[in-house]
Amino acid sequence: MEARSFEIRKKNSYMKNKGRWILLGLLLVLVGITAMILQLVGAQWVFLQFLEIPGRLFAFVAKILMVMAGFIIISLANTDWEKDRKESQAK
């Protein structure tokens, strides 16, 4: 019984943070995409100006990595690890 209640608490703890992880991923994607669009027209976000110091290529790669990291965070947050674990053990 004790193990089951720990499992439920662990799952509830994860479910509380799921929305925050999705929000973080979405913000990274949106900021990265808008920063790349702004770079095309010659403008930039003030809080991302430090990326331009090493060069424009570095800034562009960093923005692409922001978008990719956002998508990875969103996909990991939406993954049901318990279901995947049960499916892999059933085979």
Confidence grade of residue 83 (pLDDT, cut at 50, 70, 90): confident
Task: Please tell me the predicted confidence (pLDDT) of residue 85.
Answer: 81
Model confidence pLDDT, tens digit, residues 3-28: 555 555 565 565 678 899 999 999 99
pTM, 2 dp: 0.76
Domain boundaries, the chain: 2-90
Contacts of 73 (CB under 8 A, 6+ apart): 21, 22, 24, 25, 28
Pick 84 or 4 by higher pLDDT.
84
- For residues 26-45, average pLDDT: 95
Complete DSSP assignment for 7-75:
HHHHHHHHHHHHHHHHHHHHHHHHHHHHHHHHHHTT---GGGGGGGSS-HHHHHHHHHHHHHHHHHHHH
Confidence grade of residue 29 (pLDDT, cut at 50, 70, 90): very high
